[in-house]
């Protein structure tokens, strides 16, 4: 009967889907957990929250007492500030104060000695303000409200010092604030007394409504525990006993330590409604209960979801097994689609294994057939491998060889089978090594590395030697062990390695410096020729370059462009080309010794300077007549003025003023002659090239003065048109004057071929743009033919019979050294114009400007 019921229940459970069953189980477990744990946790949480609230209420009671005492101290401060108020002190010095000594004055409105609005703390005003003398007599009383007792009862409590005190009069609490009034020596001292009734409004203002209506405060008589006053007399009427409110409120009574009288000791009491506390506890408990309910729901949902995932995963696995059985094993096995998969799994597995055994037998037959096919495939791979393979037995005899080995060594298969391979194909020097390697592999006493890639020399049937890499791999069969020997021909690879090694030595054998620097500025490689550079940088291979050169390397890597720099090392000059290899983050430095080239350039410049000097001497020689005439003029003037002075002195007819004037003329003419000689020495003197800032207009004027005599002699009209602005240039003054002088003299010589009245020479200066200026030398000569223009600046080319042909060539070279140029435009029958173009910096400062 029991077995029948079990099967019946099992049949019912099998038809229920596993997710539904897991959902029912989750709901049941959640309900049981909820019913058992919720009451226990609710009571525990309620007790915890109650203890916590009581603790917090004790803290609130302390806070309310502190605020009350702080409010009392504010009244004390208010009384002190009132006693020091200038208006009250002034009043004490008046006649009205002296009158009050005879009769007490009463005020129902704010008196003159009390500032309107004072004293007041928050919205509370004192009940009465009393002015006393130091003998304790009331002199003036401001009555904001009548007291149910006489003021004398309060004055009797004055202790002769400042302070505050809470007293009980007629069963009502009052706050007394005493403060001595500041006074001068000639003024009688006085005391001000503030009497403030402690009522419902006073208590409410002391708390600033900090806790709303759920917290009340009051003063209690410590003797009979009766309420003197509360902050809400409607809820807690005065005169009631504390014991009447313990069921409705949580009560905390505290002493007011600093403001009590010796005879009376009222207590400060804080009252919190128990209903509010219980409501808070209930709210928190409900929130906790909702949290537990939410957690239970989450638990049920998570449990059901996990069981659902498990059942889905089981069903998925079963489907995969079924597909595997259908595809791989060729068996038909139904997949469980509905119901409880866990309960159905047992029967399913039994049926599956029965079909699996049947499929295993079929698979075994298929596997044997596949193995036979694989053996054929392996045999084909063995024969067609690109590597020579020789199979040896444990005695070292050849069992099998592939076709590549037959082609490589030239031996037929029959010549190799059954013989020791090393005696046939291994060079005599390496046979012992081959035998040792094979013996260790047979004994399995060597590491795998000793049986692989061993370099040896093999010999073919034709006696040719080949470099091979020999590797031995063991093949363990059921009754014996064979060894495949792989022989890789590496003759071509070794030849390539030798070529690579030769190429690798290219940098080290280079007579010029070759270096490699990584992106951190570290010298990765430097050949022997780089030693001067390493000494100059004071570093060695593997160290870091100096900061300046590290920055250059980083800049070249970042920009990806080759850059060239020159450095001077004692008597050597190196040109360094920095070539970035950006994809590998390093820079190659290729050096070249430029010392001989720079020496040759220096000699060339010296020869050019000497040639320029010779040309200047030649020019001065050609202009000697004009220069002699120009120098003769000041000398003749000096002679004439000196002779005149001698005659006037001898005759005694010359006055002192006339003689001084003649002497001044002699001095001026002498200075003029000296200036001419100085310019001649500057032009003909041999000197190094020196550049200085100058105004191009001044240079043109200098040249015009030089050719003035020659132009007049040749009947040439000279016109000088200078720019209105300053044209600053940085030039060698002598060389540029030489260029302009050469062009002007050429123009004067060319105009000899035209009529006298048509000979005109124009010198014009102007600015082309912000960075360049030019001088125009324009003549009205016959012009220059085109065939002559092509060779005008060639060396040793001249249209003059006595010319050397070097003037224009040297002028062009001088302009190139100054980053300038000479251009010419000519028209036959109209004349020629030469353009001398020079760089100019408008910001250049000139001497004297």
Span 306-316, mean pLDDT? 72
Q: Could you give the 3-state DSSP secondary structure of residue 116?
A: coil
Q: How far is CA 767 from CA 44, 53, 696, 721, 836, in A?
A: 102, 95, 10, 13, 12
Residues near 153 by beta carbon (within 8 Å), at least 6 away in sequence: 169
Span 83-99, mean pLDDT? 78
Q: How many CB atoms lie within 10 A of CB 75?
A: 23
The pTM for the full model equals 0.35
Q: 183-187, 221-225, 439-443, 757-761: which has the minimum mean pLDDT?
A: 183-187
- What's the confidence (pLDDT) of residue 848? 56
pLDDT band at 507; cut points 50, 70, 90: low
Span 238-249, mean pLDDT? 83
| Cα 483 from Cα 302, distance rounded (Å) | 62
Nearest partner of 33 among 320, 293, 397, 352, judged by Cα: 293
- What's the confidence (pLDDT) of residue 548? 86
Residues near 504 by beta carbon (within 8 Å), at least 6 away in sequence: none
Pick 168 or 682 by higher pLDDT: 168
Q: What is the pLDDT of residues 765-796, one digit of tens each?
A: 999 998 999 999 999 888 888 887 777 776 56
Q: What is the pLDDT of residues 629-638, one digit of tens each?
A: 555 556 665 7
| Cα 840 from Cα 849, distance rounded (Å) | 16
443 pLDDT above the threshold of 60: yes
Q: How many CB atoms lie within 10 A of CB 815?
A: 20
Highest-scoring range by mean pLDDT, 16-25, 44-53, 194-203: 194-203
Q: What is the pLDDT of residues 699-727, one digit of tens each?
A: 888 888 777 777 888 888 889 999 889 89
- What's the confidence (pLDDT) of residue 482? 83
Q: Could you give the 3-state DSSP secondary structure of residue 413?
A: helix
Pick 163 or 507 by higher pLDDT: 163
Structure tokens at 430: 């390496």
- What's the confidence (pLDDT) of residue 330? 57
- What's the confidence (pLDDT) of residue 620? 54
Residues near 292 by beta carbon (within 8 Å), at least 6 away in sequence: 34, 37, 38, 41
Q: How many CB atoms lie within 10 A of CB 389?
A: 19
Q: 103-107, 464-468, 669-673: which has the minimum mean pLDDT?
A: 669-673
420 pLDDT above the threshold of 70: yes
Long-range CB contact pairs, 467-474, < 8 A, 24+: 467/491, 467/494, 468/388, 470/434, 470/437, 472/437, 472/438, 472/441, 474/441, 474/444
Q: What is the pLDDT of residues 598-622, one digit of tens each?
A: 665 565 555 455 545 555 555 555 5
| Cα 430 from Cα 499, distance rounded (Å) | 26
Listing DSSP states for 269-286 in one string gives EEEEEHHHHHHHHHHHHH
Instruction: Please count the helices (runs of H) and the strands (runs of E) in the chain.
Output: 23, 27
Pick 391 or 333 by higher pLDDT: 391
238 pLDDT above the threshold of 80: yes
339 pLDDT above the threshold of 70: no
pLDDT band at 755; cut points 50, 70, 90: confident
Q: Could you give the 3-state DSSP secondary structure of residue 671?
A: helix
Span 105-111, mean pLDDT? 76
Pick 243 or 791 by higher pLDDT: 243
Span 741-752, mean pLDDT? 85
H-type alpha helices, 125-195: 151-155
Long-range CB contact pairs, 638-643, < 8 A, 24+: 638/666, 638/669, 638/670, 638/673, 641/665, 641/666, 641/669, 642/666
Q: What is the pLDDT of residues 10-26, one digit of tens each?
A: 666 666 666 666 667 66
- What's the confidence (pLDDT) of residue 609? 55
541 pLDDT above the threshold of 50: yes
Kindly list the structural domains of the chain, giving each domain's residue range(s) and its CATH number in brackets, ordered by start. 52-276 (no CATH), 388-493 (3.30.450.20), 510-593 (3.30.450.20), 595-688 (1.10.287), 689-849 (3.30.565.10)
Q: Could you give the 3-state DSSP secondary structure of residue 469?
A: strand
Q: Could you give the dihedral angle defined by the CA atoms of residues 244, 248, 252 and 253, in that order, rounded to the nearest 10 degrees?
A: -20
65 pLDDT above the threshold of 70: yes
Span 398-413, mean pLDDT? 82
| Cα 42 from Cα 63, distance rounded (Å) | 31
389-391-393 Cα angle (round to 5) = 160
Cis ω before 119 (30° cut-off from 0): yes
Mean pLDDT score across all residues of the chain: 76
Identify whether the C-beta of residue 389 lies closer than 8 Å to the C-beta of residue 405: yes
- What's the confidence (pLDDT) of residue 358? 74
Structure tokens at 116: 């309107």
Sheet holding 586-593, edge to edge: 523-526, 514-518, 586-593, 572-581, 563-569
Span 648-657, mean pLDDT? 69
- What's the confidence (pLDDT) of residue 211? 47
């Amino acid at each position: 009967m029991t077995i029948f019921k079990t099967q019946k229940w099992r049949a019912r459970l099998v038809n229920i889907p596993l997710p539904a069953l897991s959902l029912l189980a989750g709901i049941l477990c959640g309900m049981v957990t909820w019913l058992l744990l919720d009451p226990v946790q609710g009571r525990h949480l309620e007790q915890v929250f109650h203890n916590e609230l009581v603790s917090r209420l004790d803290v609130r009671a302390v806070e309310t007492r502190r605020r009350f005492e702080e409010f009392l101290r504010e009244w004390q401060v208010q009384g002190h500030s009132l006693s020091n108020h200038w208006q009250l002190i002034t009043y004490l010095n008046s006649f009205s104060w002296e009158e009050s000594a005879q009769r007490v004055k009463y005020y129902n409105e704010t008196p003159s000695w009390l500032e309107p609005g004072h004293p007041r703390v928050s919205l509370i005003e004192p009940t009465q303000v009393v002015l006393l003398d130091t003998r304790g007599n009331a002199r003036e009383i401001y009555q904001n409200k009548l007291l149910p007792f006489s003021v004398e009862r309060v004055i009797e409590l004055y202790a002769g010092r400042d302070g505050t005190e809470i007293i009980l009069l007629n069963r009502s609490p009052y706050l007394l604030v005493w403060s001595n009034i500041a006074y001068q020596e000639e003024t009688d001292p006085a005391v001000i007394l503030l009497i403030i009734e402690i009522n419902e409004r006073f208590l409410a203002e002391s708390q600033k409504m900090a806790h709303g209506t759920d917290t009340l405060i009051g003063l209690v008589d410590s003797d009979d525990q009766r309420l003197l006053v509360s902050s809400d007399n409607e809820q807690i009427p005065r005169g009631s006993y504390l014991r009447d409110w313990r069921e409705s409120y949580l009560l905390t009574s505290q002493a007011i330590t600093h403001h009590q009288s010796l005879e009376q000791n009222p207590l400060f009491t804080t009252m919190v409604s128990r209903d509010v506390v219980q409501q808070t506890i209930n709210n928190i408990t409900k929130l906790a209960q909702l949290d537990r309910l939410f957690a239970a729901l989450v638990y049920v949902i998570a449990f059901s979801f996990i069981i659902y995932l498990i059942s889905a995963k089981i069903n998925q696995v079963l489907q995969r097994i079924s597909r595997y059985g259908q595809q791989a094993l060729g068996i038909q096995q139904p997949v469980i689609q509905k119901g409880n998969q866990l309960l159905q799994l047992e029967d399913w597995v039994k049926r599956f294994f029965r079909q699996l055994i049947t499929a295993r037998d079929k698979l075994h037959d298929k596997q044997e057939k596949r193995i036979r096919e694989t053996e054929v495939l392996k045999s084909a791979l063995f024969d067609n491998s690109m590597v020579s393979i020789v199979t040896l037995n444990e005695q070292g005899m050849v069992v099998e060889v592939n076709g590549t080995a037959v082609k490589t060594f030239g031996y037929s298969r029959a010549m190799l089978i059954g013989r020791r391979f090393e005696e046939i194909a291994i060079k005599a020097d390496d046979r012992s090594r081959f035998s040792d390697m094979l013996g260790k592999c047979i004994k399995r006493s060597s590491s795998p590395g000793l049986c692989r890639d061993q370099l040896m020399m093999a010999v073919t049937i034709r006696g040719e030697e080949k470099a091979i890499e020999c590797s031995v791999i063991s093949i363990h069969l059921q009754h014996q062990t064979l060894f495949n020997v792989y022989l890789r021909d590496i003759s071509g690879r070794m030849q390539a390695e030798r070529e690579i090694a030769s190429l690798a030595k290219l940098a080290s054998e280079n007579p010029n410096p070759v270096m490699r620097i990584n992106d951190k500025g570290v010298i990765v490689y430097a050949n022997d020729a780089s030693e001067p550079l390493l000494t100059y940088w004071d570093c060695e291979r593997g160290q870091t370059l100096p900061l300046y050169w590290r920055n250059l390397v980083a800049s070249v890597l970042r920009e990806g462009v080759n850059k060239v720099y020159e450095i001077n090392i004692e008597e050597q000059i190196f040109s360094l080309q920095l070539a970035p290899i950006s994809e590998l983050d390093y820079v190659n430095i290729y050096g070249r010794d430029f010392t001989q080239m720079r020496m040759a350039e220096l000699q060339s410049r010296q020869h050019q300077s000497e040639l320029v000097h010779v040309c200047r001497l030649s020019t001065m020689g050609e202009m000697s007549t004009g220069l002699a005439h120009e120098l003769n003029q000041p000398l003749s003037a000096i002679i004439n003025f000196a002779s005149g002075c001698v005659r006037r002195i001898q005759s005694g007819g010359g006055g002192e003023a006339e003689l001084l004037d003649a002497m001044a003329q002699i001095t001026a003419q002498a200075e003029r002659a000296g200036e001419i000689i100085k310019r001649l020495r500057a032009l003909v003197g041999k000197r190094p090239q020196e550049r200085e800032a100058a105004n191009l207009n001044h240079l043109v004027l200098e040249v015009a003065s030089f050719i003035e005599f020659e132009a007049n002699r040749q009947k040439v009209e000279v016109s000088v048109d200078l720019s209105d602005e300053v044209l600053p240039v940085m030039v060698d003054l002598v060389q540029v004057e030489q260029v302009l002088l050469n062009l002007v003299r050429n123009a004067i010589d060319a105009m000899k071929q035209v009529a006298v009245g048509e000979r005109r020479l124009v010198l014009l200066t102007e600015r082309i743009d912000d960075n360049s200026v030019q001088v125009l030398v324009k003549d009205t000569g016959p012009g220059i033919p085109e065939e002559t223009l092509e060779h005008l600046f060639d060396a040793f080319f001249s249209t003059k019979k006595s010319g050397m042909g070097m003037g224009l060539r040297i002028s062009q070279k001088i302009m190139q050294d100054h980053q300038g140029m000479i251009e010419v435009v000519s028209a036959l029958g109209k004349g020629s114009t030469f353009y001398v173009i020079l760089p100019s910096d408008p910001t250049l400062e000139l001497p004297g400007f």
